[in-house]
Amino acid sequence: SKKYVWNFVDQNGVQENVIGLFNLVKVKNEGAGFGIFQGKTIGLTIITFIVVIAICVYLFFALKETEWLRISLVFITAGGIGNIVDRIAFGYVRDFIQFSFWDSFPVFNIADSFVTVGAFMLVVVLIVMLVKEGKKNQKEFEEEQKNVASNEHEQIDPLDAPINLNPMMKSQNDYSFVVSEKKDEKVEQNDVKNTEENTQNSAENSQKSAENSNDIPQNDTQNQVESTAENTDGEKNADKE
């Protein structure tokens, strides 16, 4: 496009008010896009070359990135290559587009337009990606909190949970330690209670055994007395007869 327009202007002169938007002119730009950094051709060439190589390498490995991100980088790379070819071949960039309704606006070329559009797209894409990433992280955080709350509800019996927790305990490990300690204390209390009940039952059994032992001799003595009385009555009856 640069070669064609420059040849056309050489043959036909400056074309003004093309389609009512811009003029076709010839300008040698020894600076960056839109005429900035004039006289810095060598430095701009080196910087542009490094940027173009870096973007090409990134595009080669960034196949999984969003399509719009790749498109924006392709625009920037295409514009950069177009201008770097001019700087290497001529020592300047061939600009030829000038807005007819804005005389103070710098003269530029199509490569500058590609770089500008690509940079604008890149900014928009990065903002959208950051917003989406923030929403994704927020959603994952909320789901994680729900899972933690659900696990606590399933694993901890409310009857075994401590009534008063230390407000300084914020981690789940501290809470689990308190619950475990509470359970151990409850088991120990149950063991002591069972031991006391067993001791009391043993004492009652011993007392009953002693009472039974005392009843046996008394019954034998009573039986002997009754037997002696019966024998005596029998002898008396025999004497009377």
- Which residue, chain included where needed, has tokens 């960034």? 62
Q: Which amino acid is at 215?
A: D
Are 119 and 33 a contacting pair, CB within 8 Å?
no
φ and ψ of 101, to 5 deg = -100, 0
Q: Is 191 annotated as catalytic?
A: no
**Does the active-site annotation cover 112?**
yes
Tokens 């401590």 label which residue? 162
- C-alpha atoms less than 13 angstroms from C-alpha of 214 in its C-beta half-sphere: 6
Q: What is the DSSP letter of 35?
A: G
The tokens of 143 are what?
Answer: 């789901």
Residue position matching structure tokens 């600009």: 95
Which residue in 10, 86, 112, 233 is the catalytic one? Answer: 112
Q: Which of 95, 157, 184, 215 is catalytic?
A: 95
Is 19:54 a contact under the CB 8 Å cutoff?
A: no
Q: Which residues are catalytic?
A: 95, 112
